[in-house]
Amino acid sequence: MVIIGIVLAVTVFPSEEKRVRKRFRLLSEWVSKSPGENSFTMLQKMKNIGTLFLEPCELKAPHESLSGSYPRREISAYAGSARSHFSQLDLKLYDLKVDFPEKEVAQVTLTARLIGKATSGEHVDEIHELECHMKKMDGKWFFSQVKVVEVLKK
């Protein structure tokens, strides 16, 4: 009974770290694209991606053109546009290290690997280390800042 109780408590009331990790799982699931994905799924995923981000979310990347503060709508549109260039896409997120520097604030360091096949037939395999800041609002965690770590600076 005690064991069942513990299992139920962990399942029904997951820890904050598990909730944060779940947001990354959703991001990975929604960014990924299987061959022959239909328009309905594509639109649904596009819409869902935006719901993971805070309004607005800051993006910091070594390429200046990508850096900036974006509203959800733009993030969804950008994700949709980027996904449309691929016939197959797989976003893998691993080595997640979750810290809580303040209450309702999470800082996550992770490795993101994007493997895909462009519609032009080109094979894509990109790896980056990301630093994400998340904020908890209304019981849910949202990305407030996503930074691509610049390992080598010319």
Residue written as tokens 């299992």?
7
List 110, 115, 135, 136, residue binding another protein (CB under 8 A):
110
Element (H, E) at 80: helix 72-84
Rank residues 2 and 152 by Cβ distance to another protein and give the closer one. 152
CB 96 within 8 A of CB 88: no
The answer to whether 110 and 129 have CB atoms below 8 angstroms apart is yes
Q: Is 149 in the site for another protein (CB under 8 A)?
A: yes
DSSP, collapsed to helix, strand or coil, labels residue 151 as coil
Residue 6 binds to another protein (criterion: CB under 8 A): no
Q: How far is the CB of 151 from another protein (least distance, A)?
A: 5
Residues of this chain, 59-98, that bind another protein according to CB under 8 A: 94-95
Residue numbers at the binding site for another protein (CB under 8 A): 94-95, 110-112, 127-129, 149, 151-154
